[in-house]
Structure formats: structure tokens, C-alpha cells
Amino acid sequence: MSIFELFYKALMKENEQEAAARYISRHLARVALYELKGIDALHPDVKPLALELINQASQVSINIYLTETFRPASIQQKYYNQGRKSPGSIVTNAQPLQSYHQYGLAFDIAFKGSISYPNDNALWQKVGEIGEKTGLIWGGRFNDKPHFEYYRGYTWKDLIKHYE
């Protein structure tokens, strides 16, 4: 089944309990159809939170930028294979469709300047706290400092049902 058939299947659900998943499906269809990239590939509920994080961080002289937003399942598989089936260290425990990146509900950041990923835990902590104040979930709470996500109470397990 093609990705467009999967989106259509999810969009046609009549059950009101699945309205949130349909809303996400509509966004993913736009990402695929219009080839949205970067911050524009984030779900409409997440994009303003990402912008707010960037703005709030800059107000305390912390300059960050988004490195990754929507991530296709094929790239997620590549990341998952790293350290398992391909060389390198393990970078994720999320298999395809288990990451909020596949739904436009997550993004990663880096710092502007000569060191994109500094070892300064206090700096990461400050950015994480800023993100949490905006309503985001910070990946630093689960050992993924550059990661932020927002999914309004439903999990990837709720969402994946619509794409199987």
C-alpha cells in the first residue's frame, strides 16, 4: 500500500475518537504532496512551539536552530540500523513509525556557532527548561538532549494504527 493510500485510509475514518489522528494524517498528506521541509513540515500545533523555543532561547543569548523535523520512515530505519546492522554507535531505539518525527510532532536542535552539540550540560538544561515552559517535551529527560516533541496526549502507538 502506498503512503498516499495509507493517508487516505486514515483520513476516511469516521470515528470521532480518532479525530486527532486524522488531523495529523491531513498534515502528513500536505508534507508528502507539497514536499514541505524544515519547520514547515512540523504539524501546525508544533511549529509555533518550535518558533517560541527559538525566540525564548535567543532572548537569553542562546542561539539555536532546527536540524531535523519530519523524518521519513526510511531515514528512521537507517538511524535504527546504525550500531545494529550498520557501523557506528546506536543513535535511536525507535523503529520506523515509533518516532514522533514521522508524524511531524518532533524536531531536533543544534546551537549556532563553532560547536553545534556542546558538552555543557547546563546549557542543554537551560534550553530544555525553556522548551518545557512552552509546552514541549524535552528529550533530555530520556537521554536525547537535542530532541523536542509535542503530541497532545496520544502516543505513537495510537498513531501507528492508522498506517499499518
What's the pLDDT tens digit per position in 70-122? 998 899 999 999 999 999 999 899 999 899 999 899 999 999 998 999 999 99
Structural domain boundaries in the chain = 37-163
CA dist., res. 133 & res. 162, Å (int): 31
CA dist., res. 83 & res. 89, Å (int): 4
159 burial level (CB within 10 Å; 0-12, 13-18, 19+):
buried
Q: Are 53 and 130 in contact (CB under 8 A)?
A: yes
Correct CATH for 37-163 of 3.40.50.970, 3.40.50.1400, 3.40.50.720, 3.30.1380.10: 3.30.1380.10
pLDDT digit string, tens, across residues 115-153? 999 999 999 999 999 999 999 999 999 999 999 999 877
* Look-up of cell digits 517535551: 137
